Structure 1
Amino acid sequence: MKCHSLMAICCLFLFIDLPSAVAADPPRLPRVKPKAVGMDARRLAMIDFVVQRGLDRKSMPGAVVLVGYQGKVVFLKAYGDRQLQPERVPMTTDTVFDMASLTKPIATATSVMQLVEQGKIKLTDPVSKYIPEFAVNGKQDITVYQLLTHQGGLIPDNSIKDYRDGAKKAMERIYALKLYYKPGTRFVYTDVGFILLADIIKRVTGQSVHEYSSKNVFQPLGMNETGYLPGPKLKKRAATTQQREDRWMQGEVHDPRAYRLGGVAGHAGLFSTAEDLAVYAQAMLKGGSYAGAQILKPETVKMMTRGYPVDDVKRGLGWDVLSRYSSNRGDFLSKQAFGHGGFTGTSIWIDPAQDLFVIFLSNRVHPDGKGSVNSLAGRIGTIAAAAIDQRSIQQSTPAVAASDALSVLTGIDVLRENQFKSLKGLKIGLITNHTGLSRDGKSTVEILHEASDVHLRTLFSPEHGFAGKLDVSKIGDSTDQKTGLKIFSLYGKTRTPTPESLRGLDAIVFDIQDIGARFYTYISTMGNAMQAAQKQGLKFIVLDRPNPINGVDFAGPVLDDGAQSFVGYHRIPVRHGMTVGELARMFNSEMKINVDLQVIPLQNWKREMYFDETGLTWVNPSPNMRNLNEAVFYPGIGLLETTNLSVGRGTDTPFEWIGAPWLDGMKLARQLNQAGLPGVRFVPVQFTPSSSKYSGELCGGVNFIITDRRVFQSVRTGLEVAHQLRLLFPDQWETKHFNRLLGNQRVFDAVVAGKTVPQIQALYQENLAEFTVRRAKYLLY
């Protein structure tokens, strides 16, 4: 019941049914010859051979195969028959198939995620919030997220006898089920969980999953041949499955439980055609949009299809997921292949990295239930992927378009171009440091001081001081020598602007370069200042700057509620993937600060950019953040700083290595290299810090070498280092203060207990998924 082949994404497969009304001329993807989009037609022709072998071996009576690439159908063909008994009927490309378990992601999970977007369902909510009757026999804490990822502690299938007295009684028996295992500890593929998800949809919307998905998913996309309970015209060209009650099932759901539930269920019952599914697949590839219809936001699609480590497999929210790069990836990095399969012989596989999808539809259960197509579907997917000219991918999808590279404007640049319109006539205080520079290298202090009709009255500085050179616990007030303005330190007696320091001001402006990690204190300074501004009735203006380690990827445990501090200002993950302007929007809303906030946005910045792709000048944001490489390491390696390790402070390359007098670098490097972490290698070293921890002492350690920045995972690497330290040096490595920056008690306890990194990651995936929803509301780019 687990999916190991990239193309055979076929766990236990069950599906759903069609709408009775059928509209004419649904929109279709254009069909082109493979050569037109750089695919090898001769390779694709091998699909004929593979399918014919399946027919010869009686793996299925017939099939339809569709391959889509770059938004076009490059291969669509019908094989064999859609019915052998009671009479032979040829297969056609418009045959309607019982989707079985494809119902789960396409109808049920998609509907649930729409409601998550609307705030009507929360992933972290207990199921019992929506179904109070479910809170019995230890099931009160099972969450929506756990149902979507098949780790809710439920049995795979309850007894068919539970359905003999009608749908209402069947649901009552499901509510009363006992736990099968402890929720959140295992992956057990279950239909029961998706039956419950459909019930949640009905309770939240008043509509069945059939009614809701038809109206809000399939009809907007023009998928008029997709849905539950197909009408007479669609039934007539449906593939026949098996016999039930002395009749052949044609256009009637094969799954016995879905049948007893009236043909409409969360786990099975959907019907569709190859070309309709192609529309859905294309919408998923294009961020939830097709032909002007938006069924999901791009961030929601990414959240659904990213890999969440569950037991020893990866699951999306309703989807099977397989990373292109490594089976060990667990945090939120992009470009994962995803798909699903169905018991009746159907599967869909979608690969965003290659802009490719493969649909294989069969009725392998006809006539006697003995057919088998999993390996066949996998081989077809492999052929399709191999037919792509890899040069065309590289040429058509560069990481950053040449027109955008080296042309990013920061908030201060945009403000200046707009002739300081937002600050006209205002008396302002500016929170900044040495990183507050325009694209041409002029300081924000100087620019605002010289601007006409802008009245810069006061300066404020964060940790490390106005010049960014101090690495001390307290910093006093001072005076800017160039302007003569007083600089109030926000890292001294107070970390919040005082009413006295704000007296006479109309607004506070914030312009500091962040580094992309939760425990980097500049964002805490911003949050404190926002609260102070609100109390004094001042406007708060953020001059936005890039996230230097990109704005796509986010990772690590979300801060526990109640664990907030100056190094953990808000409930965000260790690596947040947001700009300071976006964080300000989040803080203002979620913390109910309600200050009069304005963000002056960046221009020409793309979320996937690292700092070296912006054309902006790197300025060390703090004394020990000396290059972009160190910023990339920081979210994961910085976590270790509160333990008895040197993270390289007092050397030329902080955060690029760790060490201690007690550490055997050769032993640690060997184990880390064997862990197979993507994009990084480990080299044993010795070094002697000239200051900070272990000053003047020889340390054995490990140097980190990034081999591929796009797949490297800093937080996962930091957790793997912690795991290996716990295993190799249990008596020497002190973990007492490790949770200070980690900020998550369950994860801390798991590290101390020696749990593996996949086990540790599984503990925070639910909150990380919920963060995806929260985060999407505040993104500006």
Structure 2
Amino acid sequence: MAQVVPGLEVFLEDPPAWARGVPLGLLCHPASVDRKLRPAAKLVAERLPGQLQVLFSPQHGFLGEKQDNMVASPDFADPRLKLPVFSLYGPRLDPPMEVLQGVRVLLVDLQDVGTRVYTYGATLARVMTAAARAGVKVAILDRPNPIGGLQVEGNILKPHWASFVGPYPLPMRHGFTLGELACYYNATQKLGCDLTVIPARNWRRAEYFDQTGLPWVLPSPNLPTLEGALVYPGQVLLEGTNLSEGRGTTRPFELFGAPFLEPWRILQELRSISPPGVILREAAFEPTFHKWAGELCWGFQLHVTDRWAFKPYYTTLVLLSVIRRLYPDQFSWRQPPYEFEYERLPIDLLTGDGAIREAIDAGHPIPELEAAWQPELEGFLRESQAFRIYH
């Protein structure tokens, strides 16, 4: 099977006419590399000398150094390329119009993880909206969806619950690459962006990242492994609770727990509703930072045994349902603020529908919730076919 070539390299092999001789901007992060792990900013600057004028960064910063949510990245000057870097996460979520108007084309090279709440999609949507107003072309240098492009899961976000962890209606696991998501948003939300996608060569939708031959570079500080990305579409919901999602450990999102959990009791409850494709291994850990820092947490590590059977969103909802029922006085939903939202509950923003939390609080079975959202998910699947670049 031919090795996958990221859109970055496809672009650099033969830059299109619209990219030649014009001022360029680049939105990127540490995972924006070629197959030899060379950074995109350096490669673009060398391939198109004098054209790259400005750099932009998403959440976690241009250098990828910011660990947590709502930790702003400062603007600064890249010391090697001598270019300004403007952060698009923090007090400013949109590119400054006067800066954007200084380029003709904005290149975007970000490694997404196929999950609605991962904020790179929201940043891209805001960039596209601003670019449309400024008359600037946006070109996505596309990369594979690391958790595959065939499986989709979850309820569709309700517009009332739109936020920076979900600007538009979309299921939690959407199956798109970032380039496909950009096309979907541009059309369904009528953003009016002059958009081009440079596809990754040789990628097939059924492939997970470890089948591409590409090197894994953590797309954000708390997704150091592909295994973490596999469980992320579900385990990210723990950010909306007082349970540790494993931040402050070496396996965030795979590990989760709290001092008050009793793993053996939870396993007993799961016997009648065992989530498919995953083994919950009892584990204890002590986070070095974040929730329950320095305290012994009891919980689990998720080991995915069958990627095609595993349903990350369903799995975590089942776990939350059981834990909510077993520990009504100790478990709690996290309170705002969360991702620049100061009033609505984080869990409602994450699920995209406050009715999900209400159903868990009321003890409704998760299989019934899953069955209820299937018709809208099937509608999304039909609609999404028109935006699929890869087969």
Structure 1 length-normalised TM: 0.47
Letter in 1 for 2:111: Q
1:602 aligns with 2:190: no
Return 5+ residue gaps in structure 1 as ranges: 1-402
Flag the 1:646–1:532 CA change in 2: closer, same or farther, 3 A. Answer: same
The CA distance in 2 between the partners of 1:448 and 1:420, in whole Å, is 13
Are the aligned partners of 1:746 and 1:763 in contact in 2 as well (CA < 8 Å)?
A: no
Return 5+ residue gaps in structure 2 as ranges: 335-344
The CA distance in 2 between the partners of 1:423 and 1:704, in whole Å, is 45
Correspondence for 1:383: none
Correspondence for 2:21: 425
What number of residue pairs does the alignment pair up?
377
Correspondence for 1:141: none
Q: How does 1:79-228 map to 2 (within 5 A)?
A: none
Q: How does 1:569-648 map to 2 (within 5 A)?
A: 569-648=167-246
- Higher relative contact order structure (alpha carbons within 8 Å, sequence separation ≥ 6): 2
1:671 aligns with 2:272: no
Q: How does 1:50-69 map to 2 (within 5 A)?
A: none
Q: Report Cα offsets for 1:464-518 as digits up to 9, x if no partner.
A: 0011121252111011121010000111220110112213211111101001111
Correspondence for 1:519: 117
Match of 1:687 among 281, 285, 290: 285
SS at match of 1:723: helix
The CA distance in 1 between the partners of 2:379 and 2:234, in whole Å, is 21
Match of 1:764 among 373, 377, 380: 373
Correspondence for 2:321: 723
Q: Shift of residue 684 of structure 1?
A: 2.0
Match of 1:485 among 83, 90, 107: 83
> Which structure would you say has the larger Rg?
1
The CA distance in 1 between the partners of 2:360 and 2:372, in whole Å, is 11
1:755 aligns with 2:364: yes
Correspondence for 2:51: 455
Are the aligned partners of 1:424 and 1:454 in contact in 2 as well (CA < 8 Å)?
A: no
The runs of at least 4 aligned residues of structure 1 exceeding 3 Å deviation read: 419-422
The CA distance in 2 between the partners of 1:488 and 1:764, in whole Å, is 39
Are the aligned partners of 1:408 and 1:614 in contact in 2 as well (CA < 8 Å)?
A: yes
The CA distance in 2 between the partners of 1:600 and 1:525, in whole Å, is 19
Are the aligned partners of 1:426 and 1:454 in contact in 2 as well (CA < 8 Å)?
A: no
Correspondence for 1:349: none
The CA distance in 1 between the partners of 2:17 and 2:8, in whole Å, is 12
SS at match of 1:562: helix
Q: Report Cα offsets for 1:564-592 as digits up to 9, x if no partner.
A: 11111211001111000000001111111
The CA distance in 2 between the partners of 1:478 and 1:587, in whole Å, is 30
The CA distance in 2 between the partners of 1:508 and 1:655, in whole Å, is 33
Match of 1:444 among 40, 48, 54: 40
1:773 aligns with 2:382: yes
1:735 aligns with 2:344: no
Q: Shift of residue 722 of structure 1?
A: 1.3
Are the aligned partners of 1:735 and 1:752 in contact in 2 as well (CA < 8 Å)?
A: no
Are the aligned partners of 1:509 and 1:543 in contact in 2 as well (CA < 8 Å)?
A: yes
The CA distance in 2 between the partners of 1:588 and 1:454, in whole Å, is 30
The CA distance in 2 between the partners of 1:742 and 1:454, in whole Å, is 44
Are the aligned partners of 2:161 and 2:348 in contact in 1 as well (CA < 8 Å)?
A: no
Percent same amino acid at aligned positions?
39
The CA distance in 2 between the partners of 1:420 and 1:585, in whole Å, is 19
Q: Shift of residue 440 of structure 1?
A: 2.2
Match of 1:503 among 101, 112, 121: 101
Letter in 1 for 2:9: D
Match of 1:653 among 240, 243, 251: 251
SS at match of 2:9: helix
Correspondence for 1:283: none
Correspondence for 1:551: 149
SS at match of 1:574: coil
Q: Shift of residue 454 of structure 1?
A: 6.5
The CA distance in 2 between the partners of 1:721 and 1:561, in whole Å, is 26
SS at match of 1:692: coil
Q: Report Cα offsets for 1:33-82 as digits up to 9, x if no partner.
A: xxxxxxxxxxxxxxxxxxxxxxxxxxxxxxxxxxxxxxxxxxxxxxxxxx
Flag the 1:454–1:765 CA change in 2: closer, same or farther, 3 A. Answer: farther
SS at match of 1:457: strand
Q: Shift of residue 719 of structure 1?
A: 1.1
Q: Shift of residue 682 of structure 1?
A: 1.3
TM-align CA RMSD:
1.4
The CA distance in 2 between the partners of 1:598 and 1:667, in whole Å, is 52
Are the aligned partners of 2:162 and 2:349 in contact in 1 as well (CA < 8 Å)?
A: no
Are the aligned partners of 1:630 and 1:654 in contact in 2 as well (CA < 8 Å)?
A: yes
Letter in 1 for 2:386: K
Structure 2 length-normalised TM: 0.93
Q: Shift of residue 751 of structure 1?
A: 1.5
SS at match of 1:573: coil
The CA distance in 2 between the partners of 1:693 and 1:451, in whole Å, is 45
The CA distance in 2 between the partners of 1:703 and 1:448, in whole Å, is 40
Q: Shift of residue 422 of structure 1?
A: 4.2
Correspondence for 2:340: none
Letter in 1 for 2:26: L
SS at match of 2:308: coil
Q: Which moved more, 1:634-643 or 1:729-738?
A: 729-738
Letter in 1 for 2:112: D
Q: Shift of residue 563 of structure 1?
A: 1.4
Are the aligned partners of 1:668 and 1:702 in contact in 2 as well (CA < 8 Å)?
A: no
Q: Shift of residue 453 of structure 1?
A: 6.1
SS at match of 1:616: coil
Q: Shift of residue 611 of structure 1?
A: 0.3
Q: Shift of residue 725 of structure 1?
A: 1.2
Q: Shift of residue 673 of structure 1?
A: 4.8
Correspondence for 1:712: 310
The CA distance in 1 between the partners of 2:269 and 2:49, in whole Å, is 62
The CA distance in 1 between the partners of 2:320 and 2:6, in whole Å, is 37
Q: Report Cα offsets for 1:190-233 as digits up to 9, x if no partner.
A: xxxxxxxxxxxxxxxxxxxxxxxxxxxxxxxxxxxxxxxxxxxx
Correspondence for 2:337: none
Letter in 2 for 1:442: R
